[in-house]
């Protein structure tokens, strides 16, 4: 299960709060899938997570552009990769429902990509933004 922990803090309150929300929502989605909830129960959770990620990425990207972040292009590429991979999992969900294969793929994406992205790429952004007032909405 994806779990938020203090090692994932990037040092920007607005970003950290959104990351915690992402983990909570991903945890709820994966728990529903593992518990064998119906497609009708799982689909809204998947759709919410997809929409929340899109809003979070847009918010982060806006801040990076406004502040002239030098790592913007790498960061954007990583966001695009996640969106593409998430879309593939969502398509598999549409075809197979909350099958073990889809559940595992989603868990690997959330746990692997999110933790890796936050732990490296977002931490660099956090260091760049250190001490600045940052407002983000999703």
**33 falls within a domain:** no
**68 falls within a domain:** yes
**10 falls within a domain:** no
DSSP state of 122: I
**60 falls within a domain:** yes
Locate 6 and state its tokens.
Answer: 């203090």
d(CA 78, CA 83): 9
Give the model confidence (pLDDT) of 11-39 as tens digits: 999 999 999 999 999 899 999 998 999 88
Nearest to 28 by CA among 2, 9, 53, 50: 2
**125 falls within a domain:** yes
For the chain, what is the domain count?
1
Locate 123 and state its tokens.
Answer: 């931490």
d(CA 99, CA 107): 12
**97 falls within a domain:** yes
Read off the pTM: 0.88
Separation in Å, CA 59 to CA 16, 80, 134: 13, 14, 10
Give the model confidence (pLDDT) of 71-114 as tens digits: 999 999 999 999 999 999 999 999 998 899 999 999 998 888 88
**87 falls within a domain:** yes
Enclosing domain of residue 86 = 38-129
Give the dihedral sign, CA 91/81/14/22: positive
**102 falls within a domain:** yes
């Amino acid at each position: 299960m994806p779990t938020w922990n203090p090692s994932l803090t990037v040092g920007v309150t607005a970003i950290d709060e959104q990351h915690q929300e992402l983990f909570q929502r991903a945890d709820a989605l994966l728990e529903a899938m593992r518990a064998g909830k119906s497609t009708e129960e799982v689909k809204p959770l998947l759709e919410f997570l997809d929409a929340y990620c899109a809003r979070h990425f847009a918010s982060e990207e806006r801040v990076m552009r406004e502040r002239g972040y030098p790592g913007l292009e790498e960061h954007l590429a990583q966001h695009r990769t996640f969106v593409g991979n998430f879309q593939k999992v969502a398509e598999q969900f549409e075809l197979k429902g909350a099958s073990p294969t889809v559940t595992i793929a989603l868990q690997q994406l959330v746990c692997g990509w999110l933790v890796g992205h936050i732990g490296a790429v977002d931490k660099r952004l956090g260091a760049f933004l250190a001490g600045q007032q940052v407002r983000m909405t999703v």
